[in-house]
């Protein structure tokens, strides 16, 4: 049986998605280009607009900086985490002021 969300919960989720989208756009425009290799992925059990929220352990490389490890908590499309497998490498954009703040880049 599907659980119905209240209007308040839907509004909270819409606000959260809008904030995430704004931050992604800012990082795409202002972030440092780099790459990240996935070390591990864990489903947090949280959901945002029906999508799984996962913790992704990454090793990040940005030119001119030492490699570093961080964990990114992010929603993914749907609930299938299998595309995010250990060893997979993705382009990222990293906040120059906060290296733990990053997003996957196209």
List, in sequence order, every residue forming a beta bridge with 73; answer none if it has no partner.
55
What distances in angstroms separate CA 45 from CA 3, 51, 54, 82, one per listed residue?
15, 10, 8, 15
Tens-binned pLDDT, residue by residue, of the chain (106 aa): 455 778 888 888 888 888 988 999 999 999 999 999 999 999 999 999 889 999 999 999 999 999 999 999 999 988 788 888 999 999 999 999 999 999 999 7
Q: Note the pTM of the prediction, 2 decimals.
A: 0.84
Residue pLDDT, tens place only, 47-75: 998 899 999 999 999 999 999 999 999 99
Cα–Cα distance between 38 and 58 in angstroms, integer? 5
Could you give the CA distance from residue 47 to residue 54 in angstroms, rounded to a whole number?
Answer: 9
């Amino acid at each position: 049986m599907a659980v119905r969300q209240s209007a308040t919960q839907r509004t909270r989720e819409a606000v959260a998605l809008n904030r995430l989208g704004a931050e992604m756009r800012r990082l795409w425009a202002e972030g440092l280009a780099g790459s990240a290799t996935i070390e591990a992925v864990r489903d947090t059990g949280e959901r945002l607009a029906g999508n799984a929220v996962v913790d992704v352990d990454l090793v990040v490389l940005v030119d001119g900086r030492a490699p570093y490890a961080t964990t990114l908590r992010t929603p993914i499309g749907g609930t299938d985490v299998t595309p995010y497998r250990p060893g997979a490498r993705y382009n990222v954009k990293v906040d120059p002021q906060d290296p733990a703040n990053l997003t996957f880049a196209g």
